Chain A
């Protein structure tokens, strides 16, 4: 957390004050959400030039609301607050988010924010994988202008996002899918307090005849520089009547869309094998929630 060049710790109370601090320090200003990944970035040598921290907890960006259309989550909502969203307990289409939120330890859930977990652009986190399968849309605002982007557009490589200096994620929106939909998430982890070896989230909609109307399959955790969708697996399922064989076949296909890495957590071969296994399990878990 030590920032050798730090000159200023700003705690803005309005968007104008954010812009003022961002304008003064440009690329060397760092937004501070819950702060739980600052060490992670610093330890990788990514924060050596930071001159200003902009702590955004006083901007009123925490809070969430569910409507018939879906869920809106303020960027500073912590995981612990999000877990209390009543819809998480009841709505099958949000199952992936509910599952993903069970993994981080209590002390992280109490501080980690929805905006921070996304902006960190860390493929090893769990909640972003769930958000990708849930087709999350982001509201991003900077000096004056506001824009809406899809989650995938935010990721610009390992620990890199596409935000301009002074731009913030202010809100995450999850639209409720049409029809009968359910989602699920699974993380493979070495220990309870570690980041994912691999993780997978799926959302699937099925009609009364058991035909897949829509599907999203997202993978994270050492399978690429960013969390990724598996277009190959999705294509195999879309429009088809689902069977155990087809699900197995689709799960195998995720191998075509990921680039598993080798590190202290696992070999690339193990990641590849387990990505297929947990995708199959996540698909089955989501389908079991449809009934």
Chain B
């Protein structure tokens, strides 16, 4: 049975009818059309569904939409401003830290919290910080470099 909930996503309030067991990921993608967060494993194993809930990176596939009520949700679509990428997004592009792109949105959301908590992480801290995000293309090297550059800028 569906119920009406209110979610705060990227600064906008949305009233949405959802099943009680709908995950935040499915509501973002299927109800709100925010397809930046990807559905990879749907079970906490890959990180490509990472979004921020009250400023913290979480796997949106592991959170019920009903539990996310009353909290501020930010997806990759909420970073940057019209026509201007967020600095971390920009660095990923410039450093070529993207191949197929499937992991990228989640990786950037994780990198955002990593850099927020530790503005000057060393390589070990970066690798440890993104351990919950898999990338099957890049071999991580360029991702780590991009996060380093974003920190330096």
Interface residues of A (CB under 8 A from B): 1-3, 6-9, 11, 32, 35-36, 38-40, 43, 53, 55, 57, 80, 102, 105-108, 110-111, 192-193
Contacts and interface: CB of A to CB of B under 8 A. Distances in A.
Contact of A39 (B1, B3, B44, B110): B44
Nearest to B127: A192
B132 interface: yes
B21 A6 contact: yes
Interface of B: 1, 3, 19-21, 23, 42-45, 47, 50, 53, 56-59, 61-64, 66-67, 69, 110, 113-114, 128-129, 131-134
B62 A38 contact: yes
Given A8-B20, A110-B57, A39 B132 contact: no
Contact of B58 (A6, A40, A111): A111
Contacts of B1: 7
Residue among B3, B53, B62, B132 with most chain A CB within 10 A: B62
Contacts of B53: 110
Nearest to A36: B62
Given A107-B57, A111-B62, A39 B43 contact: yes
Contacts of A7: 1, 20
6 contacts: A1-B61, A3-B20, A11-B66, A11-B69, A39-B62, A80-B56
Given A7-B1, A55-B66, A105 B23 contact: no
Contacts of B110: 106-107
Contact of B132 (A6, A43, A53, A106): A106
A57 B57 contact: no
Smallest CB-CB A-B distances: 6 pairs: A105-B132, A192-B131, A110-B56, A9-B20, A3-B21, A107-B59
A43 B62 CA distance: 13
A53 B113 CA distance: 30
